[in-house]
């Protein structure tokens, strides 16, 4: 469970939410996808879930979360985030999923190995 009052730069409670990594298969080498789920306060949405996928890998689903339809709006050029009164969470349960596996908050073993090799090469320079 995410601490709704502990998000950096956010001075309001974003409400109940859950975030983490979900494996894409039983093989841990296949990687994981990052997700952030917000249950809706709407009783009519009890048995619904909307899965939000931006056009990755070029566009993070969290961009949709922070600039389009999530409970937190942080528009370009603004000082701090604000509550989104038009969040889709008002209508239904929503989960934002980062995809494919290799995008910033997803994990993939080969990507991690490659990143470590690049960092080691840079340190050696």
pTM for the full predicted model: 0.79
Distance (Å, whole) CA 15 – CA 3: 8
Cβ-based neighbours of 19, under 8 Å, separated by 6 or more: 2, 34, 35, 36, 37
Over the stretch 5-16, which tens digit does the pLDDT of each residue have? 999 999 999 999
The CATH fold assigned to 18-124 is Rossmann fold (3.40.50)
Summary mean pLDDT of the chain: 82
Share of the chain above pLDDT 90, in %: 52
């Amino acid at each position: 469970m995410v601490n709704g009052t502990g998000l950096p730069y956010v001075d309001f409670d974003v409400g109940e939410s859950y975030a983490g990594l979900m494996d894409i298969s039983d093989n841990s080498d296949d990687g994981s996808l990052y997700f952030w789920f917000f249950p809706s306060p709407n009783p009519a949405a009890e048995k619904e879930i909307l899965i939000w996928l931006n056009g990755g890998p070029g566009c993070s689903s969290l961009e949709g979360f922070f600039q389009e339809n999530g409970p937190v709006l942080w528009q370009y050029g603004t000082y701090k985030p604000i509550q989104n009164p038009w969040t889709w969470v008002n209508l239904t349960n929503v989960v934002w999923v980062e995809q494919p596996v290799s995008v910033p908050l997803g994990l993939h073993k080969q990507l991690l190995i490659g990143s470590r090799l690049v960092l080691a090469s840079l340190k050696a320079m």
